[in-house]
Amino acid sequence: MDNFKQLNDTHGHLIGDKALLTLVSKLKEHLRRDDLIGRFGGDEFIIILRGCTQYETCVRMHESISHISVPLNDCSLAFALSMGVAFSPDDGITSEGLLEAADKRLYQAKSEGKGRIRCID
């Protein structure tokens, strides 16, 4: 979640928590029953999509980052997501290898701007 610390600092941790819950809810709308999502760190999540082609995975993730907003009293607070995506077996077969590839791509996406997804190097 881009600028999550700034969101917490500006609007408080209760709004930050609400943003995280809204994010997970929105992401689940694009996931299948057998897909997995989990929080990995403060503003980072891991999503495991089984049996998807690389193209399908990137499309699903790109759909997920569109127009995420958190209701805030009489308005809503919009935020963007940057994503790094890794594929098994191309990027690795161990969780460590896949996390390393996804993390590298996440930093590439963030360096390109907010709300980006990076599926290849």
Q: Could you read off the pLDDT of 37-84 as tens digits, one per residue?
A: 888 887 888 888 888 888 787 777 777 666 677 777 777 878 788 888
Q: Please tell me the distance from the alpha carbon of residue 79 to that of residue 70, in angstroms, as a whole number.
A: 8
pLDDT at 42 (0 to 100) = 79
pLDDT classification of 27: cutoffs 50, 70, 90: confident
pTM reported for the whole predicted model: 0.78
Mean pLDDT of 12-16: 88
pLDDT of 110 > 80? The answer is yes
Question: Helices 13-29 and 4-11: crossing angle, nearest 10°?
Answer: 140
pLDDT at 65 (0 to 100) = 67
What is the chain's mean pLDDT, rounded? 84
Ranges 13-22, 57-66, 80-89, 98-107: which has the least confidence:
57-66
User: Nearest-5° angle of CA 95, CA 90, CA 117?
Assistant: 80
Q: Which residues of 88-105 are buried (b: 16+ CB within 10 A; e: fewer)?
A: eeebbeeeeebbebbeeb
Q: Please tell me the distance from the alpha carbon of residue 87 to that of residue 37, in angstroms, as a whole number.
A: 16
What would the two tokens of residue 57 be?
A: 């995975």
Identify the H or E element spanning 106: helix 95-112
